Each structure stands twice: as C-alpha cells, then as structure tokens.
Structure 1
Amino acid sequence: MTQLTPDLTSNLTPDLTGDLQAPRISEIVLRSSNYDAMKLWYQAVLGVQPFYEYVPVDWAERAKQPQGRFDTDIRLCFMRVHNQFPYSQVIALFDVPGLQPEQKASGLHHMQLRHDSFATLMQRYGRLRDAGVAPYKSFNHGPATAFYYEDPDGNLVELSAANFETEAAFLGFFQTPAFKKNPAGIPIDGDDFRRRFQAGENLSDITRIPD
C-alpha cells in the first residue's frame, strides 16, 4: 500500500502569526565531514574565533561510526558574527563523519553575510585575495555589492555590503527604473572596484548600474 505524504500546509494561512514580533535569523548550522578545514576557512574569512567548542572525550573512536541527524554528542563549534542580546548571529559547524556531497538536492542555496560598510568589504576582499581565496562570482546587484565564495564543502557564502550610506537611499534604489529593469545586477571585477575605491572615487560612481 502506497503511503501518501500529508499536506503540511493545509491548516496554514499567511497571517497565522502576523500579530507576533518576527524573529531574527540567529544560526546557520552546517554539517560537514570536513570539519577542520571548514573551521579554519570560516575563522580566516570571517575573522572570528569560536565562542564555544565541544569535543566528546571519546570522539576519535565514535567518529568512525555513522551519526544520526539529531545526535548532539558530537564535535561542534559556534562562531558568533554579531551579538545584541537577546539576538545573536552564529555560524555553527557540526562534525558528521561519512557525509558525501549531494547534487541536485533541495537545501541550502547560499548564506549572505552583510558588512558594516563598503570599506570593510573591500578590505576583507583584498586580504582574502592575497591569501589565495578568490570569489566564485562577483556582482554589483545595485543595492549592494557581493562576492560569492565556496567554502571547503562547496557551500556558497555571500560577503556583501550596501552600496549606499543611508537606509533611505538603499531602499530608494529598489524603486528606480534601473533596478526594476535589472534586479540581478551585473558581474564586476572585484580588483577594479577595490582599486577605484582606494583611489578615492565616489562610491555612487563605482557602483552605478548602467541604464
């Protein structure tokens, strides 16, 4: 007998929790069989150290066995990229031995990590480039500039910064003909962007999307 998948949306409405304060994204948890390389990559790319790390005393032996989806007594670490209690933003790594990369599967597309300024993004881009870490793709989306990197497991990590100094200008761009015509933006040369910014060129000129 074929077992039918239940309709998990049959009792949902768009305003079901609309009267509640919306939560903020707090954690992105990645499971990996490449734990040490992943940990080093995120420490170097984000410039943060784990604020909590746990290694079971018998992990060297137990790591040889398959782990279940909700097993919690595993090697793990949490790296906090922002904290404003009661909210925080955390990248977490769970060590799950024996995983194999999957293709054409539903799941994470990419994660975006926004910088406090365009200047900080350019500094991070330059340091990573000099260390041999280059973006997979680089885009001027219009409202923001973004560099897309692949971590050691192949997850897509977007490092971005707003192209405007005020929220009003940032939001205003979404109403412009340029954005409505081309919401994806255009590919860019990150080195050229960085060179022009360091030379003192106006940010609005560097990031202008051609009409």
Structure 2
Amino acid sequence: MTSHADDSHEIPSTTSPPTVIQPQSLAHVLLKTPAAQFETMKTYYRTFLGAKVAYENDMLYLLAYDEEHHRVGIFAPPGTVPKTHNSAGLAHFCFSYGTLRELATSYTQRKAHGITPSWCVNHGPTTSMYYADPDGNEIEVQVENFDDVNDVKMFLESDNFRMNPFGTDFDPETLIKRLDSGEAEKEIMKRIEIGPRTMP
C-alpha cells in the first residue's frame, strides 16, 4: 500500500506573483518631531512652502499648498527623540517648480525669511537647491532641465553622468543675475561638465 503522507516533493509553481498596481501619485510626507521642536517645525514648513494650515491639534499639523487636502504633516507624538543624523532612513524629499525663474524666486523669498540652501547643484536632469529643516531633514527643490523624458534617459546613460553622478555646484545669486540679464533659461540649465566628482 502506497503512503501519501509525505507531499514534500510537490512540483513548485512556475507562476510569478502579480505585479503590484502602481500608485497614481505620492500624496504626502509626514515628519515626526520632538515636542520641543513642534512650533519651530510648524513655522518653518508653513513659511518654506507658502502653505495654508489644513488641520492642527496639540501634536498634529497638516499643510496644503495645492489641490491635495494636505501635502506635508508635522507630528509630535510623546517620547519622540531628536533625529540621529548618521542613521539609516529617508535622505531627502523633493518639491518641483515649473520654471527656473520660479525656483530662483522661491530662493529669494525664503532668503528674506532667513532660510537659505545648504547646497545648490545642477544634477544634469534637474537644477536643484537643498535645505535642512530645524530637525536636520533635507529638502530638495528643483526644476526639470529637460522637456523630454528620453533626453533624461540619454543623459543618465552618458559618460558625463557616469563620471559625475552628483552634479556641478552653482551660486544662486549668479543664476539670478543671468536670468535678469535676459539669458534663456535653457542655456542656464545646461550642466557645466567638470569631469569626475566624488560624493560632496
């Protein structure tokens, strides 16, 4: 009599798991902060984004600046400790502008509030400015340098990007002077190639 107790030799399935349906968009970012930093973070992000308050209570603060009901939230649950800057986790998040002039204007407006970037760089695909919030979270604001995604793909596959995937630094005040002189945005947005570059 044959025993069927051991079914460990079943033929494995060759069917692949289904591909997960892709999200329509990234809806919001929620940042945890210590209670002692809550008011400072609230003011910083409301100013940084020119945003409106969508909701707030003693530990939650939601900001909106477009059609989404909120894009950025600040959360101060009890027991939250300061950020450890060398730990793993989110490196930065990014907001896009439609034109180089808008990016430059946002820089000038933030500067008037005492908010200045820590790094300004033309990555190639984007012209970007990086800021650090009061907790040390990094924020990128950018404008796309190419109109066609295929041009971005070609740049990412180029020898110039292989040698220097970080980009070329720029002075925002010089960028503004070039814009004010009437120079075309597309000319200003071309990355100046500096050869190999290690991590800044």
Question: TM-score, normalised to structure 1's length?
Answer: 0.72
In structure 1, distance between residues paired with 2:33 and 2:160: 40
Counterpart pick for 1:155 among 137, 145, 156: 137
- Do residues 90 (structure 1) and 91 (structure 2) align? no
In structure 2, distance between residues paired with 1:143 and 1:202: 17
SS state of the match for residue 108, structure 2? helix
Q: Which residue of 2 aligns with 1:44?
A: 47
Q: Which residue of 2 aligns with 1:79?
A: 63
SS state of the match for residue 129, structure 2? strand
In structure 2, distance between residues paired with 1:111 and 1:184: 16
In structure 2, distance between residues paired with 1:38 and 1:112: 17
In structure 2, distance between residues paired with 1:37 and 1:136: 19
For structure 1, list consecutive stretches of 5 or more residues without a partner in the other structure.
1-14, 56-74
Q: Does the C-alpha gap of structure 1 residues 123 and 171 become closer, same or farther in structure 2, counting only changes over 3 Å? A: farther
The answer as to whether partners of 2:62 and 2:70 remain within 8 angstroms in 1 is: no
Q: Does the C-alpha gap of structure 1 residues 177 and 96 become closer, same or farther in structure 2, counting only changes over 3 Å? A: same
Q: Which residue of 1 aligns with 2:30?
A: 29
Q: Greater Rg, structure 1 or structure 2? A: 2
- Do residues 208 (structure 1) and 190 (structure 2) align? yes
Counterpart pick for 1:194 among 148, 166, 176: 176
Larger mean Cα displacement after TM superposition, 169-178 or 181-190? 169-178
Larger mean Cα displacement after TM superposition, 15-24 or 200-209? 15-24
Deviation (angstroms), 1:119: 1.6
Q: Which residue of 2 aligns with 1:20?
A: 21
The answer as to whether partners of 1:142 and 1:185 remain within 8 angstroms in 2 is: yes
Letter of the 2:72 counterpart: I
In structure 2, distance between residues paired with 1:112 and 1:206: 21
The answer as to whether partners of 1:38 and 1:152 remain within 8 angstroms in 2 is: yes
SS state of the match for residue 53, structure 2? coil
Deviation (angstroms), 1:89: 6.1
- Between the two proteins, the alignment pairs up a number of residues equal to 175
The answer as to whether partners of 1:162 and 1:170 remain within 8 angstroms in 2 is: no
Letter of the 1:50 counterpart: V
Deviations 1:113-132 (A, max 9, x none): 11122221110001112332
